[in-house]
Amino acid sequence: MSRCIAGTTAQARLGRAARSVRLCTPTTAVDELDASEGAHPEPTLEIVLHERDRCPDEVLRALMTESLDILRAQPRGPHYVVVATA
């Protein structure tokens, strides 16, 4: 069952969040995965930040603005990784 907020598809919300994240903070990668590509049954956004110590508030705000569910936000190796689903 897909979630629809204000008539907007999950993939569109994911895309808007990805664009916002790319504009607000330095990233190593921002990957938009549909349900068939990712490890989750929903469309997923995987963000790898240059920063290792924390996730900037701007990133969290971009994800919350699009009503994405944050599954993981933690340091991994030399980067900080955030995984969210729509």
**Rounded Cα gap, residues 53 and 64, in angstroms:** 21
Read off the pTM. 0.86
Residue 35, pLDDT score: 85
Residue 79, pLDDT score: 94
Q: How many other C-beta atoms lie within 10 A of the C-beta of residue 33?
A: 17
Domain locations along the chain: 10-85
Q: What is the pLDDT of residues 37-75, one digit of tens each?
A: 878 889 999 999 998 889 999 999 999 999 999 999 999
Spatial neighbors of 17 by CB under 8 A, at least 6 apart, are 45, 62, 63, 65, 66, 68, 84
SS3 19: helix
Residue 37, pLDDT score: 82
- Comparing C-alpha atoms, which of 50, 51, 17 is closest to residue 31? 17
Residue 1, pLDDT score: 41
